[in-house]
Structure 1
Amino acid sequence: MLPHCTPRPIHAPRRPWHLSHIATGLLLLGLLTACSARPFVLTARPEPDLAPWQEDVGHGKSGHAFRYMHLDAQTPGDTAFLFLHGGIFDHRLWYYMHPLAQHGALYALEFPNVHAFHDGGIESMGRIVDDFAALIPETHIYVVGVSAGAWAAVEWAITQRDKTVDGVVLASSVMFGANAKESRKRARMSRFAVGLTPPQLQHIVERRARRTTYTEAEGPLQQIDIFYTRPYPYYYQLFHQTHAQGDRRQNTDGIRCPLLVLHGDRDKVMPLDVARLTPAMFPNATRTDFQVVPGGNHDMIFGNGGDIARRIADFFFE
């Protein structure tokens, strides 16, 4: 045997490449290219005017400090809306939901960068929401989640003991276990993301945001006005909960109230055909409706905020 040479192992014949494998490879190559580019820079948190909302900091049951937006109900009562944002943006993505104040008080939680309840799974997000919910004096709650916030909304609603959940709204999201192909794609991306270094992961987030064509909202606040790169633990936790869930079906049987599912026909993050499967995953919901929002993208709750608020009000109160 020649020096420095080792026998080659014998492998079984390779299976032919599928187009999905090639697409995944190109996507990961693009992300690796992004990792070698210049460092991220959008780390300063913008502070635009949020009127008529007020932004505040309060402490949950555990003593953890939460940043959140709130707006009093036009007519005082015991009803409130709890809004849960998704991945890249924060709680200010709910800015254009303020018309719903005619039906109750409004609270929009900013998921913290770090929390003692972070343990890697989507269940932990429900516990974080429950920790924050101690700040809400109203007892009848409509919980509204977008993207990853929709998973947190379900986790909180099915375990809730201190509040009465009168309704659930899921926007721009698909449930875990709804579609095997979608679950595998999510798992590949999350495995890759959690293996990145902090600068690499944060840079990918910024690069993705810079390439996004933001929806022009009809009002004073635009998406670009609230974008910034959050600290690494926030994004790591976001991807790690997907990684931990894998292809396990999310527990949705405990939802026993009206359920509204909203999805835009231009959503390029969560596929519309998989989102259509969502209502069937909630067999115990007292009433369900699936609505396609024409022209709605993944962040339609911001760009199409007025329309989304009307759809929510019509479903629950008309």
Structure 2
Amino acid sequence: MEEFAAVGDIQLCFEVIGEEEDPTVLLVMGLGLSMDWWRDDFCRGLVDRGFRVVRFDNRDVGRSTHLHGRGIGPWGFLTRRATPVYTLGDMADDAAGLLAHVAPDGAHVVGASLGAMVAQEIAIRHPGRTLSLTSIMGRPGDGRTGRVAPRMLPEFLRPPAADPVEGLVASFRRIGSVGRTPEDDEDVRVTARRASARETGDGGSRQLAACVGERNRTADLGRLTCPALVIHGDRDRVIRPDGGRATAAAIPGSELLEVPGMGHDLARSSWPVVLDGIERIATRTRA
């Protein structure tokens, strides 16, 4: 059931799945994507492992507050020029404010893609609310690692597809994991339609500006003390694997897990290793 929490001037739409007494996992989704993209079956996989799941719409997506101001388009992304309306740190503060409402004792923070960078900022800015950190498909913001592969640049310049849903299916096949299945394609169709029905604006370009304008978190990552897991696909061409390696190298005692065949997606074939990794790093916290 959807709920809302006020964090300053931002209203965040969120959902809690699982039992109140179980340790909380906070899921932070990527660029322009609502919490629907943390698929129900993935969330149930965490619940089956004994966790309480909190997923939410970041600012500017879904039913959370949509802001105003200019974002950037494909050329701004490619030239890495942006004047952000807000920062990844602001998005992290949103998430930490949500945790104050739903998990005041803290949570295991998991982020994917842009959500991984936000998750890193949560751990840096709000260590008291971060029991562990799992950074999936992320980078440390050093400007050198985790950049898009040149062969993927045309992906960001494509005109909108005549059928947006089938356009997304095709896009995930281009950027995604080896061996994506018809079930993965159907996941995209179902999730895209569900997300579209919940969408109240278009803030993806402002989130993109925040991503392009990210700061170098390397030194701050070096001061983290929570258990940390970095997951990255060895076939990721949107945020190349050296972004994951640099993130893991920056965090003392972190574990790096490179997943063979995984691209810039969460195809079902990757779920077991991702879910097991989240459980493993959380167990380190409890130990």
Tell me if both proteins adopt one fold, taking TM over 0.5 as the criterion.
Answer: yes
Q: Residue 210 of structure 1: CA displacement? A: 4.8
Higher relative contact order (CA 8 A, sep 6+): 2
What residue is the counterpart of 2:241 in the other structure?
272
Q: d(CA) in 2 for partners of 1:226 and 1:276?
A: 30
* Deviation digits for residues 55-95 of structure 1 (CA, Å, limit 9, x no counterpart): 4121233364322232113x824x21100000143212222
Partners of 1:126 and 1:152 within 8 A in 2:
yes
Q: Size of the alignment, in residue pairs? A: 246
Within a 5 Å distance, the mapping from 1:167-316 to structure 2 comes to 167-177=132-142, 179=144, 182=147, 206=164, 209-212=168-171, 213=173, 215-216=180-181, 222-227=187-192, 233-245=202-214, 248-250=215-217, 251-282=220-251, 285=252, 287-300=253-266, 304-316=270-282
What residue is the counterpart of 1:69 in the other structure?
15
Q: Which has a greater percent of helix?
A: 2
* Deviation digits for residues 191-212 of structure 1 (CA, Å, limit 9, x no counterpart): x99xxxxxx9977995962532
What residue is the counterpart of 2:52 in the other structure?
105
Which shifted more, 212-221 or 148-157?
212-221
Q: Residue 157 of structure 1: CA displacement? A: 1.9
Which amino acid in the other structure matches residue 277 of structure 1?
A: A
Which amino acid in the other structure matches residue 177 of structure 1?
A: D
Q: Residue 170 of structure 1: CA displacement? A: 0.3
Partners of 2:147 and 2:238 within 8 A in 1:
no
What residue is the counterpart of 1:59 in the other structure?
5
Partners of 2:89 and 2:118 within 8 A in 1:
yes
Task: Tell me, yes or no, if structure 1 residue 82 matches structure 2 residue 48.
Answer: no
- Computed over aligned residues only, the root mean square deviation of the Cα atoms, in angstroms, reads 3.7
Identity across aligned pairs (percent)? 16
Which amino acid in the other structure matches residue 139 of structure 1?
A: D
Structure 1: stretches of 5+ with no match in the other structure: 1-54, 194-199
What residue is the counterpart of 1:146 in the other structure?
112
Q: Residue 281 of structure 1: CA displacement? A: 1.8
Q: d(CA) in 1 for partners of 2:181 and 2:259?
A: 16
Q: d(CA) in 2 for partners of 1:169 and 1:221?
A: 27
What residue is the counterpart of 1:51 in the other structure?
none
Structure 2: stretches of 5+ with no match in the other structure: 69-83
Partners of 2:14 and 2:56 within 8 A in 1:
yes
Larger Rg: 1
TM-score (norm 1): 0.65
TM-score (norm 2): 0.71
What residue is the counterpart of 1:158 in the other structure?
124
